Amino acid sequence: MMHWQAICRLDEIPLRGSRVVKREGEVDIAVFRCADDRVFALADRCPHKGGPLSQGIVSGHKVSCPLHGMQLGLEEGRALEPDEGCVGRFPVRVVDGRVELDTTPIAP
Ligand code: FES
């Protein structure tokens, strides 16, 4: 059972940027919009030392952490080689120009 919540309009997220969905007592979620308008949602905490991935640089379907530059694939939520690590992923979709998120993590 999915629990979709409308977050914002797609055009409210900058291209190659993100929007943070704050959560009480849980890790925030970063919703990324890629140049091709695909959206991905990851926990906003780098697996290396907790950097805010929402402030990273998006290129293609990956994001570089702003702290030490680790690259993570947005689709898989995994660090790209040679780094290792993974980050929680969340279901996100675009319906009629609105971004909808389910805050239940996708099983790794
Ligand atoms: S905290 Fe992200 S690369 Fe170090």
DSSP labels for 40-75? EEEESS-TTT---GGGSEEETTEEE-TTT--EEETT
Q: Which of 27, 42, 45, 48 to mutate to test the pocket of ligand 1 (most atoms within 8 A of CB)?
A: 48
Residue 103 pLDDT > 80, yes or no?
yes
The pLDDT of 21-50, averaged and rounded, is 97
Q: Six-digit token pair at 57? A: 């640089």
Cross-strand bridge partners of residue 63: 58, 72
Cross-strand bridge partners of residue 17: 33
- pLDDT, residue 1, reads 86
Q: Which of 45, 65, 71, 78 to mutate to test the pocket of ligand 1 (most atoms within 8 A of CB)?
A: 65
- Give the number of C-alpha atoms closer than 13 A to the C-alpha of residue 94, restricted to the C-beta side: 16
CB 85 within 8 A of CB 77: no
- pLDDT, residue 84, reads 96
- Specify the CATH class of 5-101 in words: mainly beta
Q: What is the residue-averaged pLDDT of the chain?
A: 97
- Ligand 1 midpoint to CA 98 (Å): 31
Q: Six-digit token pair at 31? A: 């919703």
Entry pTM: 0.96
Q: Six-digit token pair at 46? A: 């780098």
Residue 83 CA, closest ligand 1 atom number? 3
pLDDT digits (tens, 9 = 90+) for 2-34: 999 999 999 999 999 999 999 999 999 999 999
In the chain, what is the greatest distance between 2 CA atoms, to the nearest angstrom? Answer: 39
The pLDDT of 72-79, averaged and rounded, is 97
Residue 108 pLDDT > 80, yes or no?
no
Which residues form the pocket of ligand 1, taking CB atoms under 6 Å from any ligand atom?
46, 48-51, 65, 67-70
